[in-house]
Amino acid sequence: MIRLAVLGSTGSIGTQTLDVVRHHPDRLRVVALAAGSNARGLREQAEEFGVGRLALCDEVAASDAGVRGGIQAVTDLAADAEVDLVVVAVAGVIGLLPTLAAIEAGKRIALASKEVLVAAGEVVMPLVRERGIALTPIDSEHSAIFQCMQGHRLDQIAELILTASGGPFRGWSRERLEGVSVEQALDHPTWRMGGKITVDSATLMNKGLETIEAHWLFDVPMDRIGNVVHPQSVIHSLVKFHDGSVLAQMGWPNMRLPIQYALFGPDRVPSGLPDWNPTDTPSLTFESIDDAVFPCPSLARESVRLGGTAPCAMNAANEEAANSFLRGEISFTAIPRVVEAVLGRHRPVAASLDHLLAADREARILARESYAHV
């Protein structure tokens, strides 16, 4: 029986994780739950799964609900002695401190919050390796790579290739993107996700973030990680080897599969989902990303070239800009301009935890200051 702490339990990944638990009650038990501000949803989940260890990031909502509140409360759940495996599915870089606490406490980690490694991979992954922590990715792309790499040495791998659906605006011009509405950006053709990550998919920033995450997660140089648009979303990513062969992980786009693999892998257990067959999608197509129309992946790569705290600043600027767009405060095309403006003003320093937290705070201020000029 694996005892789970699900951080971000009321969000998209969190609710799907609980769905996996419902299908495997003989192997999984939820012992801790944390959410952002959705007190009602948290209480309903706690009642269903019989969970007493609860926390909300929002201290006001937590006080009203009579549960522990604030990031420290969430961090404490990640290190709780009753927890075997921590599912980190909170939105954004707030997952960093709970992840570090889980590492220090020797927990297994299933990581969905890509921003943790984007902002602090240089700090997190050395600790993971030093402590011998089993950290498994939940992102469908990284889960695919993780699965394809099993049984292969790192020196056998020539390139990692992350696939992208292309989002709702595949094939659009820069001019057409100027008038994009929030509703259009949230109308993803393949996946159903939370608001911020859906906007990242529309700007293709998700591919930039995932490239950085793969860089740290698999210890592969950035110039050996590629991106390709694959509209059918059947191939979730590919690994190319030095002998020229390529392995791909394939299946219908459903997050329950990578969640389940992160919880049970390398075991394969029934998912209850429809099987994919080659004749179901006989035409699988691929396209290059148009960097002139979608500059966000290039900005993410530039942040790694700058090094130190620059990826953290880039990530914070993108979080602020994407959420401001969702609130109707800036245009869709302003998002990459905000990120570029912040990267231009940020002065990277060495990546320590204190420096990263300071860079995150500073970048958010710079992002808000740039709104009037982008």
Per-residue pLDDT of 230-261, as tens digits, reads 999 999 999 999 999 999 999 999 999 999 99
Give the C-alpha separation, 28 to 39, whole Å.
23
pLDDT of residue 235: 97
Q: DSSP for 84-96?
A: SEEEE--SSGGGH
Sign of CA dihedral 265, 267, 268, 269: negative
Res 195 pLDDT > 90? no
Give the C-alpha separation, 190 to 167, whole Å.
8
Helix orientation angle between 195-203 and 205-218, rounded to the nearest 10 degrees: 100
Closest among 147, 156, 32 to 89, alpha carbons compared: 32
Helix orientation angle between 195-203 and 334-345, rounded to the nearest 10 degrees: 90
Cα separation values, 59 from 64, 77, 137, 191, Å:
9, 15, 29, 31
Classified by CATH at the fold level, domain 143-373 comes out as: Rna Polymerase Sigma Factor; Chain: A (1.10.1740)
Q: What is the pLDDT of residues 45-82, one digit of tens each?
A: 999 999 999 999 999 999 999 999 999 999 999 999 99
Residue 115: in which H helix or E strand, if any? helix 115-131
Q: Is 90 exposed, middle or buried (0-12, 13-18, 19+ CB in 10 A)?
A: buried
pLDDT of residue 296: 97
Res 180 pLDDT > 80? yes
Cβ–Cβ under 8 Å, residues 163 and 180: no
- In the numeric block, the tokens 């608001």 are attached to 195
| Model confidence band, residue 359 (pLDDT cutoffs 50, 70, 90) | very high
Q: Quick one: tokens of 309? A: 């705290």
Q: What is the pLDDT of residues 5-55, one digit of tens each?
A: 999 999 999 999 999 999 999 999 999 999 999 999 999 999 999 999 999
CATH code: domain 2-113 is: 3.40.50.720
Helix orientation angle between 310-326 and 205-218, rounded to the nearest 10 degrees: 150
Listed by start position, the domains of the chain span 2-113, 143-373
Q: What is the pLDDT of residues 321-352, one digit of tens each?
A: 999 999 999 999 999 999 999 999 999 999 99
| Model confidence band, residue 87 (pLDDT cutoffs 50, 70, 90) | very high
pLDDT of residue 92: 77
Q: Quick one: tokens of 24? A: 């495997």
Beta carbons within 10 angstroms of residue 268's beta carbon: 9
pLDDT of residue 85: 98
Res 369 pLDDT > 80? yes
Lowest mean pLDDT among 180-184, 191-195, 299-303: 191-195
Q: Is 372 exposed, middle or buried (0-12, 13-18, 19+ CB in 10 A)?
A: exposed
Res 192 pLDDT > 80? no
pLDDT of residue 171: 92
pLDDT of residue 197: 86
